[in-house]
Amino acid sequence: MLPFSYQTARDVGRAIAEASEAKETPPTAAPSQFIAGGTNMSDYMRLGVNRPSRLVDINCIEDRSLKTIEIGDPDIRLGALVRMSEVEDHPEINRRCPMLAESLKLAASRQIRNMASLGGNVLQRTRCEYFREISWPCNKRDPGSGCAAIEGFNRQHAVLGTSDSCIATYHGDFAQALIALDASVDISGQSGRRRIRFAELHRQPGDRPDVETTLRPGEIITAIAVNVPAWAARSRYLKIRDRQSYAFALASIAVAINLDGDIVRDARIGLGGLATVPWRATAAEEALRNKPLTEESASIAAQAAFADARPREHNAFKIELGKQTLIRALLEVRDMRI
C-alpha cells in the first residue's frame, strides 16, 4: 500500500471541496477519494489497484439524512451512509419488499455488512482476477493496456453488456434489486444537487472501461430513493454461487411480480453475476406482461433475457444457468403466500 493522507469531513460541502481537484479524471483514479465503510477501498489499496494520495472520511458528516432510513408510502429513502445490515434487519423493508433485504443478507459476511455503507456498496468495483492482480493487462485499471480476461480464464466473467475492451462482471447484489425497482440516486457536487435514475449511474465498458460511473469529479451519493409499490411484497432475490456463503454470484435474480390472478400485470427483473453493470432484463419483463405466469411463459422470458448474451470460452454455462435461475425465481415468486 502506498502512503496516503487521511482527513475527515463534517459536512457534505467540505467533503466535495476536498475531492474536487481533478477535473478530467474519473473518480476511481482521482488523487482524493471518499471512504465510508472502506470494505472495498481498503482491499484495493492493499492490492495496489486503487492508489489515492488522500482519503476523505465521510462517516463524520453531521447531516443525519445521510444516515437514516425513511419509510414512506410508496417511497423508501435510504441515506448513503446507512449500513447494509440496517436495511436487511428493517422489518418494514422485509415486509414490503423482501428482495431489497435479501439482496443484502446474501452479500459478503455479517461483519462486512455491519461496516459497509449503501453508497459504497453500489459503487463497489469488480472482483475480476485480472483487475485485482496488477501484473496483468487490464483496460479498466490501465486504459489501453488490453484485457487479459478475454483470452484468459473467464469463468466468472460477464456475458451481457461486454465489449472488446472489457468483460469484467459487476459483482454487487443490492444494485440488482435497485435497478429492478427503477430506483433513483441523489447526488451532490460542486455544481449543486441532482437526481438520476439508478440505471444511469453505471456505465457499460465500451472502449473506456476505466470510466465506471456517470459521477463527476468530487460528486458524492447522498441517498437512494426507491418507489416500492404494494405488489413488491411478492418479490425475492435468488443467488446461485459456488458455495452457500461469502461468495459472489455466478447468477442471481432480483424479481418482483404484480399478479392479477395468474396474469402478470407488471414484472421487474434484475440480473446479477452475469453483466458488466447492474442489469435490468426489460425484454424478459415485456415477454411476461399480460400473460399467465407458467413454466412455459417463464421459459420464454428467460430466452428473451439472454438473447444478446455474448459468452467466452469458459463462461458459456452462465447463459443456461441464468435462464434456469430466472425461471426458478419467477415460479417461486408466483407461489409466494403474501
With residue 155 as reference, give the H or E element that holds it. Answer: none
Residue 280 Cα distances to 24, 32, 118, 178, angstroms? 30, 32, 19, 10
Dihedral of the alpha carbons of 172, 82, 40, 228, in degrees to the nearest 10: 10
C-alpha–C-alpha distance, residues 329 and 338, integer Å: 16
C-alpha dihedral (188, 185, 109, 130), degrees to nearest 10: -80
Please give the chain's pLDDT, 338 residues, in tens: 889 999 999 999 999 998 877 677 889 999 999 999 999 999 999 999 999 999 999 999 999 999 999 999 999 999 999 999 999 999 999 999 999 999 999 999 999 999 999 999 999 999 999 999 999 999 999 999 999 999 999 999 999 999 999 999 999 999 999 999 999 999 999 999 999 999 999 999 999 999 999 999 899 999 999 999 999 999 999 999 999 988 999 999 999 999 999 999 999 999 999 999 999 999 999 999 999 999 999 999 999 999 999 999 999 999 999 999 999 999 999 999 98
In this prediction, residue 25 carries a pLDDT of: 86
DSSP state letter for 296: H
**Confidence (pLDDT) at 338:** 87
